[in-house]
Amino acid sequence: MAIVTLTIDGIQFSAKDDESILEIAKQNGIRIPTLCHLDGLSDVGACRLCLVEIEGWNKLMPACTTFPIEGMVIHTQTEKLKKYRRMIIELLASEGNHQCAVCVVNNHCELQDLAYEVGLQYVRFPYLYPKKHVDATHPKFIMDHNKCVLCTRCVRVCHEVEGAHTWDIANRGINCEIISDLNQSWGSSPSCTSCGKCVLVCPTGALIEKGETIAEMEKKRDFLKYIVTARQKREWILNMSDEE
Amino acid sequence: MKLKVATAWLGGCSGCHMSFLDLDERLIELADKIELVHSPFADIKSFPENVDFTLVEGAITNNENIEMAHIIRKRSKFVISFGDCAVTGNVTALRNFFSPEEVITRSYIELSSNKNKTPNDYSNLAQLIPTARPLHEFIKVDAFLHGCPPTADQIWFAISELLEGRLPEFQNIFLRYG
Ligand code: SF4
Ligand code: SF4
Ligand code: SF4
Ligand code: FES
């Protein structure tokens, strides 16, 4: 680890070079929109909402998976970036089936919040209205593919935190979807422990608890930080020595 | 001079119009400022010429809606998508999982109380298009009023802006889906 100096939106910062641009921005009060990122999970750069412009680089880079180098000059709020962020939300809206008015997470949805953040007035692309399925075979939870934005948070939390690796990604492009185990119904999954972590981290109404009705479900997406901090700091050992 | 204002009801549940009535006492103020030239609230059959602005509720879901949308566009200075169904398809678009034939059979035959009767001939009625779709996919829309339904405050903001000759831009508290 080394300390580097970089500029974000015209302000100079020193930062550790093993922290992503997203983390550095966040620590300094600069808001970059994100969707697939969640504190406590690894970053995969899947949603591209956190794209930033770096002077001298010919590509836009995702802030969550890009690390600083000495002298980097970064812009997070250019017109070009705003245009792309809005386009990403438009594409996500047009390739799923989002009827917020009758959705379980209405008003508690990260996709909705992002639509407001990018000022989405309407979607310029033709809606695809794809015929996607709903898997209600699990005794406690439902997977509604119509609302899935393929952020892969569920895949990562199940693998990295729960250690079950029930979820995975199948197919490519517009046919890409989340599957459980060997592409079988969630209810028949031998690996799922029914811990519910994937349901809590899902940013949308794709993973929900059974028995919730419209606008009823509010997720506690930050519960992860307790588990992850506890694991990193081995808090149970501290607690044990306290008791001695 | 009073502005000529219209509202139209396409593929929606009329909830947006009900929310319009929630303007309550503001309706009296509005009555002094506008002339309502066409609306489900007013019994006027044809859509007049030279309308200053029209609020359109509902998705485009049948051939009659398409025809009406073009008439509205031709005769209105500003067209506003009024509510989520007009903006995204929303609840009206839930039927897009099924073919028009399945939808008609389900709602008019399977769920009808006199199942044993041969269904009437529906061919003279408006015909469903394959999918219900947002208004702006058919005509140019000048502003978008979101919500299912939009709240009275959102509607009031939109109308106040339009009365001042401005197109409403929905941001912050006035931009909300669902
Ligand atoms: S998941 Fe979010 S954006 Fe999609 S319908 Fe539900 S509330 Fe709306
Ligand atoms: S409930 Fe737990 S074990 Fe089952 S899929 Fe979700 S995260 Fe994995
Ligand atoms: S189910 Fe939810 S958490 Fe999993 S990829 Fe889809 S949107 Fe993301
Ligand atoms: S948050 Fe960085 S790509 Fe999704």
Contact A119/B88, CB-based, under 8 Å? no
Asked whether residue A135 is domain-assigned, the answer is yes
Q: How many CB atoms lie within 10 A of CB A232?
A: 9
Asked whether residue B124 is domain-assigned, the answer is no
CA distances from B118 to B100, B102, B103, B110 (A): 19, 17, 17, 12
Into how many domains does chain B fold?
1
On whether both A57 and A160 belong to a single domain, the answer is no
Residue of A nearest to B91 (CA): A99
B130 at interface of A, judged by CB pairs closer than 8 A:
no
Asked whether residue A88 is domain-assigned, the answer is no
Asked whether residue B111 is domain-assigned, the answer is no
Asked whether residue A116 is domain-assigned, the answer is no
Asked whether residue B108 is domain-assigned, the answer is no
Domain range enclosing B166: 3-95+130-176
For helices B152-163 and B26-33, what crossing angle results, to 10°? 20
- Confidence class of residue A244 from pLDDT cuts 50, 70 and 90? very low
pTM value? Answer: 0.91
- Looking at the complex, report in whole angstroms how far the Cα of residue B43 sits from the nearest Cα belonging to chain A: 30
Asked whether residue A138 is domain-assigned, the answer is yes
Asked whether residue A114 is domain-assigned, the answer is no
Strand B34-38 versus strand B3-9 pairing type: parallel
Q: What is the pLDDT of residues B32-88, one digit of tens each?
A: 999 999 999 888 889 999 999 999 999 999 999 999 999 999 999 999 999 999 999
Question: What is the CA(B133)–ligand 4 centre distance, in A?
Answer: 30
Residue A146 reports pLDDT greater than 90: yes
Residue B159 reports pLDDT greater than 90: yes
Asked whether residue B158 is domain-assigned, the answer is yes
A174, two tokens: 């517009």
Q: Report the greatest alpha carbon distance in chain A.
A: 65
Return the pLDDT at B171. Answer: 76
Indicate which CATH number applies to the domain containing B153: 3.40.50.700
Residue A199 reports pLDDT greater than 50: yes
A5, two tokens: 């100096």
Q: Which residues of A touch B135 (CB under 8 A)?
A: none
Indicate which CATH number applies to the domain containing A140: 3.30.70.20
B131 at interface of A, judged by CB pairs closer than 8 A:
yes
Domain range enclosing A222: 130-243
In this structure, are residues B152 and B23 in contact, taking their beta carbons and an 8 Å threshold?
Answer: yes
Asked whether residue A121 is domain-assigned, the answer is no
B133 at interface of A, judged by CB pairs closer than 8 A:
yes
Amino acid present at A36: C
Return the pLDDT at A241. Answer: 54
A196 lines ligand 2 (CB under 6 A): yes
The phi, psi pair for B123, rounded to 5°, reads: -65, -20
Asked whether residue B24 is domain-assigned, the answer is yes
Give dist(CA A161, CA A166) in Å, integer. Answer: 12
The DSSP line for B140-178 is --SEEE-SSSPPHHHHHHHHHHHHTT------GGG----
Residue of A nearest to B130 (CA): A129
Give dist(CA A103, CA A106) in Å, integer. Answer: 5
- Confidence class of residue A213 from pLDDT cuts 50, 70 and 90? confident
Domain-ending residue, one of A33, A56, A77: A77
CA distances from A227 to A26, A197, A236, B81, B126 (A): 21, 11, 11, 46, 57
Strand order in the sheet with B76-82: B34-38, B3-9, B51-57, B76-82, B143-145
Asked whether residue A15 is domain-assigned, the answer is yes
Give dist(CA B47, CA B109) in Å, integer. Answer: 33
Q: Comparing B121 with B147, which gets the higher pLDDT?
A: B147
Into how many domains does chain A fold?
2
Q: What is the pLDDT of residues A29-52, one digit of tens each?
A: 999 999 999 999 999 999 999 999
Return the pLDDT at A64. Answer: 98
- Confidence class of residue B125 from pLDDT cuts 50, 70 and 90? confident
Q: What is the pLDDT of residues A77-96, one digit of tens each?
A: 999 999 999 999 999 999 99
- Confidence class of residue B116 from pLDDT cuts 50, 70 and 90? low
Question: What is the CA(B100)–ligand 1 centre distance, in A?
Answer: 25
Return the pLDDT at A236. Answer: 62
Average model confidence (pLDDT) across chain A: 93
Asked whether residue A124 is domain-assigned, the answer is no
**Region B82-109 average pLDDT:** 93
- Which of B91, B133, B172 comes nearest A99 by C-beta? B91
Q: How many CB atoms lie within 10 A of CB A45?
A: 16
Give dist(CA B146, CA A97) in Å, integer. Answer: 17
On whether both A147 and A68 belong to a single domain, the answer is no
On whether both A161 and A226 belong to a single domain, the answer is yes
Domain-ending residue, one of A77, A92, A116: A77
Residue A185 reports pLDDT greater than 60: yes
Contact A120/B175, CB-based, under 8 Å? yes
Asked whether residue B118 is domain-assigned, the answer is no
Mutate one of A90, A117, A127, A131 to test the B interface: name it (highest B CB count within 10 A). A127
Indicate which CATH number applies to the domain containing A44: 3.10.20.740
- Confidence class of residue B133 from pLDDT cuts 50, 70 and 90? very high
